[in-house]
Amino acid sequence: MDAIDDAILRELTAEGRLPYRELGARVGLSANAAAARVRLLMAEGVIAGFTVVRGTNAEPTPAGLEVFIEVRLAERTTNEAFTAALAQSFPQVRDAVHVTGSYDYLLHAFVSDPASLDSLVRRLKREAGAAQTFTRLALRGA
């Protein structure tokens, strides 16, 4: 680990879903170099995952639809490639959890309307390597 890795960890600790383009700009790297560093930190176990913690200081839930999307990855899509795509290009996805069972990931996302949900699911398949999805709408929180 070097000073750049330390800076990356500080930035991701403050904002775990920071796009690689922004992360790179903050630490003096290109988006690709920042992504490579994050993948290496994940491979070395320094970064074990990304999570969302909600408490009394959490931002309010955005207006629109709250959705949970189960994702089965395409055969040749790696976990690293999928999570990198989410971090870089899918700000609607607030959390991605690698899970057991018939699907690989459970995503928690917020979209403005059904058309935005349709667009999100199509982009997950086209750009992130999702082969199959199963979507649930949240009716109300606990």
One digit per residue, the tens of pLDDT, for the chain of length 142 reads: 788 888 888 888 777 777 888 888 999 999 898 888 888 888 887 777 666 554 444 444 566 899 999 999 999 999 999 999 998 889 899 999 999 999 999 999 999 899 999 999 999 999 999 999 999 999 887 6
Q: What is the pLDDT of residue 58?
A: 45
Task: Round to whole Å and give the CA distance between 126 and 120.
Answer: 10
Q: What is the pLDDT of residue 14?
A: 75
- By residue range, what is the domain housing residue 27? 3-43
Q: What is the pLDDT of residue 103?
A: 94
Bin 45: left if φ > 0, else alpha if -120 < ψ < 50, else beta.
Answer: left
Structure tokens at 17: 């879903």
Is the domain of 90 the same as that of 120? yes
Number of domains observed in the structure of the chain:
2
Task: Round to whole Å and give the CA distance between 3 and 135.
Answer: 41
Is the domain of 79 the same as that of 115? yes
Q: What is the CATH number of the domain that holds 85?
A: 3.30.70.920
Q: What is the pLDDT of residue 56?
A: 41
> CB neighbours of 63 closer than 8 A, spacing ≥ 6?
112
Is the domain of 37 the same as that of 83? no
Is the domain of 38 the same as that of 84? no
The CA-atom distances, in angstroms, between 84 and each of 15, 65, 109, 126, 131 are 15, 24, 16, 14, 16
Is the domain of 71 the same as that of 108? yes
